[in-house]
Amino acid sequence: MTPDLRLAATQACDVTDGCITCGDVAVALTVLDVVGADARCRDELGREETVATELVGTVQAGDRVLVHAGVAIERLAAAATGG
């Protein structure tokens, strides 16, 4: 089963690394496929998450986006990291 990034992020709220949402931390993800206004995305550790894409316009598989709280807030250049 593919690890779920959202689940991992929610659990991370309880450990030393803290809550990535509260911490204004955004993560760089790669779009796998698009379903309506949502996109299934994957991070560099292979964890997946469905994110809303309305704020960054049309995306397609292979695009890189910066994601915060389940919403893509910016497009990234191919080699950029959000970390």
Partner 1 sequence: MKFVDEFRNPELAQVLSREIAQLCEPNRHYKIMEVCGGHTHTIYRYGVQDHLPENIELVHGPGCPVCVIPMGRVDDGIAIAERDNVILTCFGDMMRVPGGRGSFLEANARGTDIRMVYSPLDALRIARDNPDRQVVFYAIGFETTAPSTALTILRAEAEGIDNFSVFCNHVTIIPAIKAILDSPDLRLDAFIGPGHVSTVIGCRPYEWISRDFGLPLVCAGFEPLDLLQSVYMIMKQFTEGRAEVENQYSRVVSYDGNPVALKVLANVFALRPFFEWRGLGSIAHSALQVAPKFAKYDAELRFEIPGVRVADPKACQCGEVLKGVLKPWECKVFGTACTPETPIGTCMVSSEGACAAYYNFGQYAKQRLTLEVLS
DSSP structural state of residue 5: H
Q: Which residues pair with 48 in a beta bridge?
A: 4, 42
Using CA atoms, how far apart are residues 33 and 73, in angstroms rounded to an integer? 17
Of the candidate residues 29, 41, 56, 59, the single one contacting partner 1 (CB under 8 A): 56
As measured in angstroms, the least distance from the Cβ of 73 to partner 1 is: 6
How many whole angstroms separate alpha carbon 46 and alpha carbon 5? 9
82 binds partner 1 (CB under 8 A): yes
Give the binding site for partner 1 (CB under 8 A): 6, 9-10, 12-14, 16-19, 21-26, 28, 44-45, 52, 54-57, 66, 68-71, 73-74, 76-77, 79-83
